[in-house]
Chains A and B, each alone.
Chain A
Amino acid sequence: MEYLNKKKKHLLTGVSILVLLFHIIPFYIMATTALKAKGDFSSKWVFPKELNFQNFSEAWQTANLGPSFINTLIITGCSAVLLIFFGSMAAYPMARRKTTLNKIFYFVFIAIMIIPPLTALVPLYKMVVNIGMMNTYEVAILNNVAAFMPLTIFLYAGFIRSTIPKELEEAAKIDGASTLGTFFRIVFPLLKPVTASVLIIACVFIWNDYQFAIFFLQDKSMHTVTVSLASFFGQNQNHLNLVAAAAILAMLPMTILFLFLQKYFIAGLSSGSVKG
């Protein structure tokens, strides 16, 4: 019995190593492509004879990555702050006061989760042009806030309903604290775990957003990382080495963050999806 178990364990380890290798292939191909000199047309499976880092500096300079990182950071950061602030505030009455009005609004927010905002691309674009918000941070931020608000409210409402004791708020009420005061001084600090999840979900998806960004941030000075990368790809289709280097640079910040905060990323993203 013991022997069989050991044999089974070796077999499963073998299978999981195969799975591991299979999942590493695209990253390996990307790395070898990025590290080869421009004229090197050897197979992508072959490791470069000498490591060439010039592609990275060239890609950094020509792909507009520096300014794009700053734009993406501003958009992601502001969207996350607004989502957390207004989303938690919105979820509170829906979790606590079961009035008809609140039920209707909760239902509206949740129903919006299913329809992708981009089905309304044409009128949205028309509206943004009409109110003169093209190529502004505001449009990207507000679009992303609107897109992720339903999920944010859903997560906060569920958390408040299931884990925050009502007694604390009642005590504060009796003391004469205002509703907003009660919420921000007493409830909000207790929402830390779900705030972390919202922060992670929002940051991952808004950082990676491409759809809103190509529609509404067409001016080069407003490009986000994904948009810069896409236009760089368009210009350098014959220099895949450069594109690969740019892609590595573009995915680096999130990857490094993920490797350090893995536990939180997985908990955040899966709790969001489990409840969403």
Chain B
Amino acid sequence: MSEIVTETEYTVTKKPRKLKVKKQTSLWWMYLPSFAVVFLFILYPFFNGIQLSFTNWNGFSQEYDHVGFDQYKRLFADPTTWLVVKNTLLYGIGSTILQNVLGLLYALLLNQSIKMKAVTRTVIYLPVIISPLIMGYIWYFFFSFQGGALNDALQFFGLEKINVLGNPEFNTWIIVFVNTYQYVGIAMIIYLAGLQSISKDFYEAAQIDGASSLQQFKNITLPLLMPSITINMVLNIIGGLKLFDVIIALTGGGPGNASQSMSTFMYDLYFKRQDAGYAATQGVFMAIIILVISLAALVYFKRKEIEA
């Protein structure tokens, strides 16, 4: 710091005419490089995608026709669209609820002065830094039909083997579970930080008034944790709605389209079924859904925060 000051004194005497500060300019050229990259790799493709969603492009030929709203009609008439939207919402909302409930419980537990607290926190948090694809494989060793750990355990107790990943009834729930397992650590850490910022005075006052632990939780902890709840909710919804890697690793979207999310479905349409125009339409639809739900969640929880 002292270095800067001496340098300042030296130059001031040298160039006194610069003392007059110029009118502020936007300095927009400073964000030009960043904007160029974002424009080229996000905005331009995004608007180009809207245009492609009105075509029947197959993904590789140079020629294609503009087909008006045909792809959109197809999208709304396609039962797979609704299955995939349902799955995506389940991944988004299901893992958000689970991550927040579990994350809060873990934070409350690991905020106590108990043994092995640090180790437990580390183990819960570790999956956050591991690739979701690898996380998918790790759980594949557990759930797979042939030689998976789950079936080993079932057989040990004399029960029937079950094919959880191949079962369209609940393999989506397995994916929700794995996503929760991976990211519950972030929710926990954010709640821990929130808990530690609440002053102990509130609890002491409440204890003097004879409030029970449950009353204290409801009237002090929860309202003061509202900002942490907002962050976790919005973060987890956005993360869950764009789930991709875990699904690829665990079920590949199958059987059939049973566990497909909007991202994996779009990938299949483009790369496996050469249906690029339709994939672009699905992409536009996905962007709209994610935007609407994330913004709704953000506004809803922000409002709650103010009330609290």
Contact = CB atoms under 8 A, between A and B. Distances in A.
Interface of A: 9, 12-13, 15-17, 19-20, 23-27, 29-30, 33, 41, 43-45, 86-87, 89-94, 96-97, 99, 101-102, 105, 108-109, 112, 114-127, 142-143, 145-147, 149-150, 153, 168, 170-176, 179-180, 183, 186, 204, 207-208, 210-211, 225-226, 229-230, 233, 240, 243-244, 247, 250-251, 254-255, 258-259, 262, 265-266, 269-270, 273-274, 276
Given A16-B115, A183-B30, 9 more contacts: A17-B120, A23-B120, A29-B138, A43-B156, A112-B43, A116-B290, A118-B242, A146-B38, A250-B131
Contacts of B24: 97, 99
Interface in B230-261: 231, 235, 238, 241-242, 244-245, 248-249
B42 A142 contact: no
B31 A210 contact: no
B85 to A, nearest CB: 14
A201 B279 CA distance: 30
A102 B18 CA distance: 26
Contacts, number: 297
B141 A211 contact: no
A179 B24 CA distance: 11
A210 B112 CA distance: 38
Interface string B29-66: 01101110110111111101101100000010000000
A125 to B, nearest CB: 7
Given A210-B132, A250-B134, A254-B130, A93 B153 contact: no
A26 B4 contact: no
Nearest to A275: B231
Given A122-B52, A174-B18, A90 B133 contact: no
A232 to B, nearest CB: 10
B130 A251 contact: yes
Given A15-B109, A142-B41, A266 B267 contact: no
